Amino acid sequence: MRDFTSLIQRFRAADRMTTVIAAGAVAFAYREMADHVVESHDFVAILNGTPSEPIHMVTSGNQRQAPAATKTKIKAASPGVREVLEFVRTAPGPVVGAMVAHRALAADPALKTDWGGFGRFGTWVSQIGKDIEYSSAQGGWVWDAKRFSSDDLPAPADKQPGVEEQVTRVTDVPALSAAQFRQIFQSMATRLRGHPANRTELSRQVRDDCVSAGEPVSRNAVSFVLQGLSYAGFPLSDEATAAELAVAWTRYVEELCRVASLEFDADEQLAVRRWASGGLLDT
C-alpha cells in the first residue's frame, strides 16, 4: 500500500477528503492517513444492495472536524442516555466502550440506525455530557469524570505484550486478547450451529454474544476474523467447531506474518499460535 499511502498524503496536502476500501491486511498507516475507511465486506453489501443494517464508514483518527451546523443535539432524556448514565455512574471503574454501546442499544434499539444522527457510538456518547467522558484509546473506554480520569485506563502494555503487539502493529490483525479470540470462535460456532446467517448478520450476532459473555469486541474485529476465514478457504457451515475455526484463523495469521516478513523463533511462534487461537490449539 506504499504507493497509495503517498497518494493519500498528496490528497490531504491539497485539502481533499479521502475514503479507502480496506480488504485483508491493510497497513495501519494506510488506514490512519485516510479520513474514512469502508471495510470490504460492507462495500460488497453495498454493491449487492443487501446490507442487513445501515452501513457507516469507519472514521480514522485523522478525520477533520465536521462543521458545528451538521451536529445533532442529543436527547438527554432518551432511554439510551439514561441507561448509560446509570451504568457508568455505578461502575467500579472505566468501562469498555463496546459494553456501554451494547447497554445503550438494548435500552434504545432506535440508536442502531445512526446513533441519533451522530453516526458513531464514540461521537454519540461524547455528546452526553453530565461528566460522562469517552476515549477511543485501546478500543474505546467510557467513565464517570467525577470519580475517574484517563489516568485510570489500563496501560496498553498490559493487553498486548511481546510478539502479539508486533503482529497487530504490522499486519492489522485486531489487537484482542487470547480470551477475546476464544470467545469469538465459541460464539461463532454456536451461531453457525443454531441458524447460519449471512456474514454481515453473523458479525453482529457474534459481537453481541461476546459483549454478553464479558469479552467485548468490536464488530470490525469480528468482521476481520470472518474475512480471514474466507481468505483461508474455511467454509462457515453448521458443522464448524470452535477449534476448527481457531485452526483456520491461526493459519491465516501465520500467513500474514510470513508475507509481512515477521520472523519469530520457535517459542515466539508458539506464543503467536496460542494467542491467535485463543488457547484452543495445543501447539
158-194: per-residue pLDDT in tens?
444 578 888 887 788 888 999 999 999 999 999 998 7
> Using CA atoms, how far apart are residues 148 and 204, in angstroms rounded to an integer?
31
> Using CA atoms, how far apart are residues 178 and 94, in angstroms rounded to an integer?
21
- pTM for the full predicted model: 0.54
> How many other C-beta atoms lie within 10 A of the C-beta of residue 272?
22
Has residue 111 got a pLDDT over 70?
Answer: yes
Dihedral sign computed on CA atoms, order 118, 104, 216, 97: positive
Per-residue pLDDT tens for 241-261?
999 999 999 999 998 888 776
Q: Report the range of poorest mean pLDDT among 45-49, 61-65, 181-185, 271-275.
A: 61-65
> Residue 110: pLDDT band by 50, 70, 90 thresholds?
confident
Q: What is the DSSP string of 148-177?
A: --GGGSPPGGGTS-HHHHHHHHHH------
> Residue 118: pLDDT band by 50, 70, 90 thresholds?
confident
Per-residue pLDDT tens for 191-248?
998 776 688 889 989 999 999 888 888 888 999 999 999 888 898 888 889 999 999 9
On average, the pLDDT of the chain sits at 77
Per-residue pLDDT tens for 1-59?
444 555 666 666 666 777 777 655 455 445 555 666 676 566 666 666 655 444 444 44
> Using CA atoms, how far apart are residues 128 and 118, in angstroms rounded to an integer?
12
Higher-pLDDT residue of 68, 77: 77
